[in-house]
Amino acid sequence: MTGSDPRHTVPRPSEEAALAHIEADSARFYDVLAAVPPGTRVPSCPAWDTDDLLAHLRGVQVFWQRVVVERLTEPEQVEALGEPDRPEGREALLAAGREAAAALVATLRDTPPDTRVWTWSSEQSAGFVRRRQMHEACIHRVDAELTAAPDGSARTPIDALLATDGVDEALRVMYGGCPPWGTQTPEEGRIVRVAATDTGTSWLLTPARFTGTAPDGIQHDEPDVVVDTDPGDGTVRPKAILSGTAEDLYTWLWHRPHLGELHRAGDVALVSEVEATLSAPMN
């Protein structure tokens, strides 16, 4: 089952499935890290050790649960939340983390997705929080599994619909979005198709130049990508194709190890150019 957002033709988990993913991936995250010694480095987030990773996910889930349950709509209200205190000791961190995950899921379950709340996105809704937190829990579950076994032997599968939606979110929201104060100038005709081979979903990426002056006065003039959903009717002829399973594309975009091979065809230099633009780290 997919969501009904008319702005997207990309399949995504239902609202209830998204909550189930947050719940299951958070539980897996805490169960895996409970068995990893404190001080162990997180290979996919090398600045962190296990307790840092625990504190991070717990802090994120506490923050967004409060935004939604308190119906915060203004930046000033959100800034006043501050950082939650970090529990002392492994057992306290684990207990507080599990409590935060349960509270987040319960709050989102009780809140209609179209409820207006503050987010850092143009989409100011509890539904955006639900989607974002589904991916937050999933990616950090992968981090926990890599911390337990850097060779990938502790990895568990990622649901194909979740991964497809995650590719869409990474491309559209994290990389391809354009703030109102900026301008994207695409290089017409230089299109790369990114294709999820298992779900049949694909996206069209066009190299672009992003320019503009941010509200803080910083001027931008840098490589970017414009992202469109592929109509899939043969009307678009890309110069190159990058393909793999939805899970592998998802973890690749989040700079985590992918288990299968990504295939590059056509103008591979163009693919490399796009990949370089998508190389900014995300935690």
Contacts of 120 (CB under 8 A, 6+ apart): none
Same domain, 68 and 130: yes
The model's pLDDT over 71-130, given as tens digits with 9 standing for 90+, comes to 999 999 999 998 888 898 999 999 999 999 999 999 999 999 999 999 998 899 999 999
Which amino acid is it at 91? E
DSSP string, 109-153: HTS-TT-----SSS--SHHHHHHHHHHHHHHHHHHHHHHH-TTST
Q: What pLDDT sits at residue 38?
A: 92
CB 141 within 8 A of CB 29: yes
Q: What's residue 7's pLDDT?
A: 39
| pLDDT at position 1 | 25
Alpha-carbon torsion 172, 175, 180, 184, what sign?
A: negative
CATH of the domain at 188: 3.30.1050
Number of domains in the chain: 2
- Is residue 103 included in any domain, yes or no? yes
Q: How confident is the model at residue 143 (pLDDT cuts 50, 70, 90)?
A: very high
Res. 282: pLDDT tops 80: no
pLDDT given for residue 281 in this prediction: 59
* Residues pairing with 227 in the sheet: 205
Q: Which amino acid is at 93?
A: L
Same domain assignment for residues 108 and 61: yes
The reply to whether 5 falls in a domain is no
Domain assignment present for residue 171? The answer is no
**CATH number of domain containing 78:** 1.20.120.450
Q: What is the mean pLDDT of residues 273-280?
A: 88
Q: What is the pLDDT of residue 248?
A: 97
118 in a domain, yes or no?
Answer: yes
Of 51-60, 119-128, 178-187, 219-228, which one has max mean pLDDT? 51-60
User: Residue 224 is part of which domain span?
Assistant: 177-277
- Same domain? 207 vs 244: yes
Same domain (yes/no): 151, 20: yes
| Tens-place pLDDT, residues 208-240 | 999 999 999 999 999 999 998 888 888 889 999
User: What length does the chain have?
Assistant: 283
pLDDT computed for residue 195 by the predictor: 95
CA torsion through residues 213, 180, 65, 131, sign: negative
Q: What is the pLDDT of residues 1-47, one digit of tens each?
A: 233 333 347 888 999 999 999 999 999 999 999 999 999 999 999 99
Average pLDDT over residues 122-140: 95
16 against 282, higher pLDDT: 16
Better-scored residue on pLDDT, 283 or 153: 153
State which of 127, 156, 185 marks the end of a domain. 156
Q: Is the pLDDT of residue 176 over 80?
A: no
| Averaged pLDDT score across all residues of the chain | 92
